Amino acid sequence: MKLTIFGATGRTGRPLVEQALAAGHTVTALVRDPARLPISHPQLHVVQGDVAEAAKVDQVVAGADAVLSTIGHTATSTKDVQTIATKYIVAAMQKHGVNRFVSLTGAGVADAKDRPKLIDKGFKFLLKRLQPDVLADAENHAKVVRSSGLDWVIVRGPRLTEKPHTGKYRVGYAGVGTGTVIPRADVADFMLKQVTDTTYVRDAPMVSS
């Protein structure tokens, strides 16, 4: 399949690109600095640009079979980077007839199937106090995705670690069959599966170890 990946230079984006290539997919990645994606592969096409540039987003979405996003906040990003990028991505997908969208966000984004326990409520309280802009951006991005009409999957992760890829994880909802941590590479594993799996289409599952 032809996959377009946003956030490819990030700590979750890189293993997602690596796993997609290993699975035989063709990957197009939009990155601000190609030097930050030190992966060389005949099936990898790197396009220099920014997710805040609608024309660049449109360019890399055209011709894709599915789009995946691991866009997150950095020290230099705007407070609404995820929402703005998602608006451009959705618009491009609608324009070019690309339907499958898999987007990563944090555990702070709520879902109707959640049954949050004390630890989940505590985590969200801290996020609201310490990183209110990040949470608001994640929630607004989810609203854009949910109203898009696409075949979307919002993948929610708790605390992400740099531990090795295991391929073993739990899928549930906040307070329902999930834990508090997961390796980034395992999040990437689950995201990649959603390109073809229809189990969680128009749903927002949480993955954890």
CA angle 120/82/167 to nearest 5° reads 60
Question: What structural domains does the chain harbor?
Answer: 2-208 (3.40.50.720)
Work out the mean pLDDT of the chain and round it to a whole number: 95
Dist. CA 1–CA 4, nearest whole Å? 10
Report the pLDDT averaged over residues 16-25. Answer: 98
**Per-residue DSSP letter, 49:** -
Asked if pLDDT for residue 146 goes beyond 90, the answer is yes
- Provide, rounded to the nearest whole percent, the portion of the chain with pLDDT above 70: 100
Dist. CA 48–CA 27, nearest whole Å? 14
Q: Which amino acid is at 123?
A: F
Q: What is the pLDDT of residue 69?
A: 98
Report the pLDDT averaged over residues 27-43. Answer: 96
- Distance from CA of residue 8 to its chain's centroid? 10
pTM listed for this prediction: 0.95
Q: What is the pLDDT of residue 47?
A: 98
Q: What is the pLDDT of residue 80?
A: 95
Question: Binning pLDDT at 50, 70 and 90, where does residue 5 land?
Answer: very high
Asked if pLDDT for residue 185 goes beyond 80, the answer is yes
Asked if pLDDT for residue 181 goes beyond 80, the answer is yes
Q: What is the pLDDT of residues 117-133, one digit of tens each?
A: 887 777 677 777 777 88
Contacts 24+ apart (CB under 8 A), 85-91: 85/6, 85/51, 85/52, 85/57, 86/141, 86/144, 86/145, 87/144, 88/51, 88/52, 88/53, 88/54, 88/57, 88/58, 89/6, 89/51, 89/57, 89/61, 90/144, 90/145, 90/148, 90/150, 91/54, 91/58
Q: What is the pLDDT of residues 53-97, one digit of tens each?
A: 999 999 999 999 999 999 998 878 899 999 999 999 999 999 999
- Distance from CA of residue 191 to its chain's centroid? 7
